[in-house]
Amino acid sequence: MAAPVSLQVEFGGGAELLFDGVKKHQVTLPCQPEPWDIRNLLKWIKQNLLKERPELFMQGDSVRPGILVLINDADWELMGELDYKLQDQDNVLFISTLHGG
Amino acid sequence: MPAPRCALCARPAALRRPKTGQALCRRCFVAAFEEETHRAIVAGGLFRRGDAVAVAASGGKDSSVLAHLLGRLDRRHRYGLRLVLLSVDEGIAGYRDASLGAVRRSRGALPLLVLSYEELYGWSMDRVARRLGPASHCTFCGVFRRQALDRGARLLGVDKIATGHNADDIAETVLMNFLRGDVARLRRAAAEATGAATEATRTTTKATGTATEVTGRTATSKEDLGKVSEATGTVGTATEATTRVSEATRSHTKATTSPLETTDSAEATTSSVQATRSPTEATRNPVEATRSSTEATGSTTKASRSPMETTNSTVATKNPMEATKNPMEATRSSTEATRSPTETTKFTEPPKSPTEATRSPTEDTRSPAKVPRVPRPPASPAAAPWPAVPRCKPLRHAYEKEIVLYAYFEGLDYVSTECLYAPHAYRGHARALLKDLEAARASSVAALGHSGRRLAVGAHVATKALGACARCGYAASQPLCKACVLLASLNRGLPRLGLGKRALGLAGGAGGHGASDLGGDGHVGGDHGVGGDVGGGRGAGGHGACSHGACGHDVNGHEDDSSWVGSHGASDRGAGGHGTGGHGACCRGAGGRGASDHGAGGCGASGHGAGGHGASEHWTDTPRAGGHGACCHRAGGHGAGDHGAGGHGACCHGAGGHGAGGHGAGGHGPCCHRAGDHGAGDHGGGDHGAGGHGAGDHGPCCHRVGDHGGGDDGAGDHGAGGHGAGGHGAGDHGAGGHGACGGPGASRGGEEEAVEVEVVGRGGRVQRRRVLGLGRARGALNIWDF
């Protein structure tokens, strides 16, 4: 049973528009049997934070291609992507590259 | 899982670079990104020392990064650029106003010019969208924006426009054009410099024969020319080039004795650039290019000045890397290609005076009269367009991901609001596909861009060369540029007519000369009757083309397309009539009235020409006759006597007011219009003024200023300018001439029209100013001293 995890989740580059325009969210993930990873976090975000048009944020069980994910300011591609195990106080930033330009 | 270490230093890595998979820390990434952009700029020969460069700034991520980077690289590497931000306010509430705010906030010390659709075209995008309904917004917006940037750049007198297109954008465009089967755009899509420049260089490769001399050596194959053009930096070689900067630089240094002129002139002649042999030309100007129009007439005109410059700059040089690197290139390059003197400066110095050096006697077969040296409107759609300001894409090799991360790491303030209309855009599909491709294989983005640049189109595939819009003078691959077509359709209350194939017809009509369009209104008057207007109306003028088309029919009530041509007059006037269309005008007219009346003749293709006259007669009798301008034209048409030969044109107007005739007419008999003739009065309407033009075009002389009197027409809605009245005579016309015609648009494009712009000086002083000659007089606004 993993302990609750507190995170700062941020959205930018236009992704915040899907979250009522709110860029920074302080969240606490509840206890659950398995450790929290990004895959679970995305599910949780979809159920708890996402306000509209989930297809613009998610594709399958991952983020939509074109949305960058930074974990503690590092590219998630360096961190195991969906399998990254979240630590307490992690900062997860989603930046859309799909907007504007 | 801890982040891996940076490949270049010991710090924790911050990202994996999409193209190479390399892990870098934030600092190393920023440095690498900047260095690569710098190398791409140098290798591509994008700028020349002392260039004034307008950065097209939307306030979004790409242009914000571009402006930031160019400023930084300019300071670091002493490019010696004069940078200015150029923004376009499309008039999209809640979207563009927010992003323009970001531009204003983050412009640093760069001066800023903001142009609005509302001022330029009389339409904000929000209004266009309401008129349009659910789709096609981006088509209108993109077309208008492109021209707006050109106009702004000319107003500022800058040498280049730099846009923030990144590798993803270019790959999307390539995909989109593939999906649409748009070969002409495919050719241009990924070009490094302006589309037109590319077009020009490619066309050049088709040259039937070229004599290229480079510092005493000769490269005689057309392949060389093409190859050389590539070396000038007009085409994207930078990806590869970054790894061998010195070679690329070396070649381009020479090749681009004056890169600016290259593209500039290239743009001006794109349609044309058919290189012909000119053995007598000395070393500086090895190639003679002829105008396409002259080709049409079969004449072998000497190259106009711009094509010469083009080729001059293409003179070049051997770029061995190119040859070996790219098989396609390799086959094109000849073994005789000479190697340019090695110069390793990073930036080419401005040429001493390439223009003078290369200028050769220019004979324009189509305008025997002495043409004023001031900018003037193209004499016909086939004429050289206004030299568009060359464009470049310094970020063309940069992945979107890296641009976004660069902006993030550098703390850049950009707006990411989605345009309200974008969700309906076709591009969205290409983008989604590209993102999926990228997820599967990151290098596909670069690969698509590369493919676009290296695409070879079979010689048997005809693509239209760029020419000049008959109305506004900006580059167009049809008689009228898309902006004028769309604008005319909007102003007529039938925005969708501007879309799709048919548009041409309509427009075309227009095309005719702008006149037509406007004319349209004019007609209303009953002359033609509705029909007239519509189709014909313009069409008419159109001369030709248009004429037929479209117009006619619709109006006439022939609903069916068939009509198109036939329609009209088809019957009545006989096909021929239109045929020519030109007159087509008449046609309509015709239609309008009893077909018979005009009779074919009316239209007669000849429309103008002889036929024209035929018309005349009719006209004559028929009161209306005059009406139509179309007919009008014909000399006889009108009072024949009146105008006399020139008559036509003139006449027309008179009559028709419509401009339609106008043109055409003009076209022809310049003389015609003697001043008095039309006199504003005549047209009265001026409306059409349009017609005016025509005249102008051609026979410069004719119109003496007084003739049309600007004033009169002026009013002219349209035309006013039309003829700009005075234009012509004055020489003015030139430009004004038509442009004007353009109708509202027209007028707005006209020389005489003042447009309000927002200017923000370096120090932050904001002012709204009315400027004249927007888009015409180069450098009319000195923003650096503001």
pLDDT tens-digit map of B506-520? 333 332 233 333 222
Record the tokens describing residue B448, joined without a space. Answer: 């698509």
CB-nearest to B418 from A73, A80, A100 is: A100
C-alpha span between B30 and B601 (Å, rounded): 71
Residue-level pLDDT at B62: 93
A40 touches chain B (CB under 8 A): no
- What mean pLDDT is predicted for residues B255-260? 36
Average pLDDT (B377-396) is 64
Chain A contact present for B416, CB below 8 A: yes
Q: Is the pLDDT of residue B679 over 50?
A: no
Contacts of A98 (CB under 8 A, 6+ apart): A13, A14, A56, A64, A66, A67, B431, B435
Give the separation between CA B267 and CA B465, rounded to whole angstroms: 11
> Looking at beta carbons, which residues of chain A come within 8 Å of B13?
74-75, 78
Report the DSSP beta bridge partners of residue B468: B475
Give the one of B418, B432, B439 whose C-beta lies nearest to A14's C-beta. Answer: B418
Most A CBs within 10 Å: which of B416, B417, B421, B433, as the mutation test of the A interface? B416
d(C-alpha B638, C-alpha B626), whole Å: 6
Q: Which residue has the higher pLDDT, B541 or B348?
A: B348
- Above 50 in pLDDT, residue B390? yes
Interface of B with A in 380-409 (CB under 8 A): 400-401, 403-405, 408
Q: How many CA atoms lie within 13 A of A66 on its CB side?
A: 26
CB contact under 8 A, A101 and B408: no
Question: Given CB atoms, is A82 within the 8 Å cutoff of chain B?
Answer: no
For the residues B315-332, what does the mean pLDDT come to?
37
Neighbours of A4 (CB within 10 A): 11
- B66, with CB counted inside 10 A (0-12, 13-18, 19+), is buried
Contacts of B91 (CB under 8 A, 6+ apart): B116, B117, B118, B123, B124, B125, B126, B127
Alpha helix segments (H runs only) across B514-628 = 515-524, 529-532, 539-541, 544-556, 564-571, 574-580, 584-592, 595-603, 610-621, 623-627
Q: Which of A81, A69, A67 is nearest to A9 (CA)?
A: A69
Confidence of residue A54 (pLDDT cuts 50, 70, 90): confident
Interface size between A and B, measured as CB pairs under 8 A: 84
Higher-pLDDT residue of B626, B185: B185
**Residue B126, H or E segment:** helix B125-132
pLDDT 10s digits, B602-623: 332 223 322 232 232 233 223 3
Greater confidence (B157 vs B569) lies with: B157
Where are the alpha helices (H) located in B10-60, listed in sequence order? 26-44
Whether pTM > 0.80 for this model: the answer is: no
pLDDT of residue B692: 33
Two structure tokens written together for B338:
């000479």
d(CA B211, CA B221): 8
DSSP B318: -
| Interface touch A74/B405, C-beta < 8 Å | no
pLDDT of A4 over the 80 cut: yes
Choose the mutation target among A67, A78, A96 for the interface with B, i.e. most B CBs under 10 Å: A78
* Angle at alpha carbon of residue B43, lines to B412 and B149, rounded to 5°: 55
CB contact under 8 A, B416 and A66: no
A34 lies within 8 A of chain B by CB:
no
